[in-house]
């Protein structure tokens, strides 16, 4: 692993611009379960039945009962971890510019990251499905489900549900950054959900070095990733930050 950490550190040193694509895996060490694999949320809850916009339009109260109440509870308790903090340190060393995250937990911002594209939205706010008014989730009472807007309309969390498209500004900016970066860190994603999973492919085709961090191989490993650091994000990013710090001093 140490050789690969050195290679990754060198790639980050020489890169004029680096972005990171992150997934649920970077928040596992904050106590938020991933979606897939052992202990994954979708092993217990069918995402097409409860995380699809059609399900929310059909029966929002049920989606709250089965999925969102549990999620909001776990997200409310979660604190950023060494993985998130490692990316903040790379940013402060000028070795990382932007994070494109699939996570809806806000932990990158909580750790101090400045430029975060929330590709799948956020649980931090909710919008009315009738008047469109947005409200901070902390101000929404969950005593009555589904929660309601002052206009009487049903509120929905500002997350991208299955069956919905990625907000165009986020999609365009993420694809532009992927096509112009010299290096991309891909941290804690199974790389199975499009269009996020295609961003490393865009970057690779544009000549970027792809550095993957995950305890398990993914469809990117050996196909798209140039360097694969097999391990948990917290530990690997601590080691990578140290290696970058040393290499910048040389």
Which residues are designated catalytic? 120
The residue nearest ligand APR at its CB is 25
Nearest to 108 by CA among 144, 84, 82: 84
Size of the site for ligand APR (CB under 6 A): 25
When binding is defined by CB under 6 A, the residue of 155, 233, 239, 244 that contacts ligand APR is 233
When binding is defined by CB under 6 A, the residue of 7, 10, 17, 36 that contacts ligand APR is 36
Question: In 136-196, which ranges are continuous DSSP H helix?
Answer: 168-180
When binding is defined by CB under 6 A, the residue of 40, 106, 112, 167 that contacts ligand APR is 40
Cβ neighbour number for residue 25 with a 10 Å cutoff: 25
User: What single-letter DSSP state applies at residue 222?
Assistant: T
- As a whole number of angstroms, the distance between CA 76 and CA 71 comes to 8
Cβ neighbour number for residue 55 with a 10 Å cutoff: 21
Q: How far is the CB of 88 from ligand APR (least distance, A)?
A: 16
Give kind and range of the element (H or E) at residue 114: none
Is the CB of 146 or the CB of 188 nearer to ligand APR? Answer: 188
Q: Does 68 bind ligand APR (CB under 6 A)?
A: no
Q: Are 142 and 106 in contact (CB under 8 A)?
A: no
Is the CB of 89 or the CB of 149 nearer to ligand APR? Answer: 89
When binding is defined by CB under 6 A, the residue of 98, 113, 189, 209 that contacts ligand APR is 189
DSSP E strand boundaries for the chain: 18-22, 98-101, 116-118, 121-128, 134-136, 155-159, 183-187, 209-214, 227-230
Instruction: Pick out residues in 139-178 that bind ligand APR (CB under 6 A).
Output: none
Is the CB of 104 or the CB of 183 nearer to ligand APR? Answer: 104
Q: Does 80 bind ligand APR (CB under 6 A)?
A: no
Displacement of CA 105 from its chain's centroid (Å)? 8
Q: Does 215 bind ligand APR (CB under 6 A)?
A: yes
Q: Are 203 and 178 in contact (CB under 8 A)?
A: yes
Q: Which stretch binds ligand APR (CB under 6 A): 5-13, 17-25, 71-79, 85-93?
A: 17-25
Report the interface residues with ligand APR, using CB under 6 A.
Answer: 23-26, 28-29, 34-37, 40, 47, 102, 120, 188-190, 192-193, 214-216, 218, 232-233
């Amino acid at each position: 692993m140490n050789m690969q950490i050195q290679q990754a550190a060198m790639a980050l040193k020489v890169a004029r611009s680096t972005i990171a694509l992150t997934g649920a895996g970077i928040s596992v060490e904050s106590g938020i379960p991933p979606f897939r694999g052992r202990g994954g949320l979708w092993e217990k809850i069918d995402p097409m039945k409860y995380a699809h916009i059609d399900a929310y339009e059909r029966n929002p109260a049920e989606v709250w009962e089965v999925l969102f109440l549990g999620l909001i509870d776990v997200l409310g308790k979660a604190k950023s971890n060494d993985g998130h903090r490692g990316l903040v340190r790379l940013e402060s060393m000028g070795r990382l510019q932007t994070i494109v995250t699939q996570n809806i937990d806000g932990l990158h911002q909580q750790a101090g990251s400045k430029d975060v594209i929330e590709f799948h939205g956020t649980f931090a706010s909710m919008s009315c499905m009738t008047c469109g008014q947005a409200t901070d989730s902390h101000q929404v009472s969950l005593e009555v489900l589904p929660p309601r807007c002052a206009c009487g309309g049903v509120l929905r969390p500002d997350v991208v549900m299955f069956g919905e498209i990625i907000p165009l500004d986020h999609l365009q900016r993420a694809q532009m950054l992927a096509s112009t970066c010299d290096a991309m860190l891909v941290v804690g994603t199974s790389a199975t959900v499009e269009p996020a999973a295609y961003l490393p492919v865009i970057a690779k085709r544009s000549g970027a070095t792809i550095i993957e961090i995950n305890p398990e191989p993914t469809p990117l490993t050996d196909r798209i990733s140039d360097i694969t650091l097999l391990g948990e994000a917290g530990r690997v990013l601590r080691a990578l930050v140290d290696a970058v710090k040393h290499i910048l001093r040389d």
